[in-house]
Amino acid sequence: MDLTGASAIVTGGASGIGAASARRLAARGAKVVIADLKAEDGEKLAGEIGGAFVTVDVTDTAQIEAAINKALELGPLKALVNSAGIGWAQRTIGRDGEFDSAHNLDFYKKVIAINLIGTFDAVRLAATAMSRNEPDESGQRGAIVNMASVAAFDGQIGQAAYSSSKGGVVGMTLPVARDLSAAGIRLNTIAPGLIDTPIYGSGPESEAFKAKLGESVLFPKRLGRPDELASMVEELLTNSYMNGEVVRVDGGIRMPPK
């Protein structure tokens, strides 16, 4: 699928995998809307790639709609990358047998709201806008890439909320791809492994920690680079025969219990 002259939206696009994806899409000729809460970083990146920034909390439907409307000002919306998400770690029960020590239910709901419901909300709204496009020569009107995680399959101790949310993203892939096929819209999901993003911080201690994490990767024994994920995003958006798939990009890692 050709993205030249089209618009694209990247949620969580101000940093990490989202930012790398935004740069890739801009290089393919798309006008990219960075949809994120990090205004300073998002506006800077948008300026660099000739796109636009919109403040978006993916739990707010109106803000997602605002990003879509901005994209439509730039060109027909043909691509959506859902990269916004948060993590949370807490065991399901505490050590003292008290109800108050059990997993915080509000945090569980928050992770689900952002990672799963926010993803679906963006999909349903962006796909609606894409459905209005004129189809290309192969009948395509748009393509979507969602971001899950290997935690959807190899969830570790304390990852009940995160794994639940990412498992939901995996679970929606095929049924939503089937729903959207009638409109000529493709949907795929990426399940990243350990990726070197700002979440790990910076400095000597951070680098040592990341090197230790990388030892658990099958090969190469390092954390993945955001652009390696973005390369797969680009492939899934532009390869017209990729649809309804979940692709692990993880160096062959299989996460241990902890």
pLDDT in tens, 149-180: 999 999 999 999 999 999 999 999 999 999 99
Confidence tier at 116 by pLDDT (50, 70, 90): very high
Burial class (CB in 10 A: 0-12, 13-18, 19+), 235: middle
125, 213 contact by CB (below 8 A): no
Domain residue limits, the chain: 7-199+226-248
* Mean pLDDT, residues 118-122: 98
Q: Per DSSP, what are the bridge partners of residue 111?
A: none
Whether 162 is a known active-site residue: answer yes
Q: What is the DSSP letter of 113?
A: I
3-class state of residue 188 by DSSP: strand
The pLDDT of residue 30 is 98
Give the percent of the chain with pLDDT over 90.
Answer: 94
φ, ψ for residue 33, nearest 5 deg: -95, 120
Q: Helix 39-49 and helix 16-27: axis angle, to 10°? A: 20
Query: What pLDDT is stored for residue 197 in this prediction?
Result: 83
What per-residue confidence (pLDDT) applies to 198?
A: 77
**Beta-bridge partners for 78:** none
Q: pTM of the full predicted structure?
A: 0.96
- The predicted structure's pLDDT at residue 187: 99
Among 3.40.50.300, 3.90.105.10, 3.40.390.10, 3.40.50.720, what is the CATH number of 7-199+226-248? 3.40.50.720
- Give the 3-state secondary structure of 189-202: EEEECCECCHHHCC
CA dihedral 46, 44, 146, 29 (to 10 degrees): 30
pLDDT tens digits along 176-221: 999 999 999 999 999 999 999 877 778 888 899 889 999 999 999 9
Name the active-site residue from 108, 162, 200, 241: 162
- pLDDT value at residue 200: 79
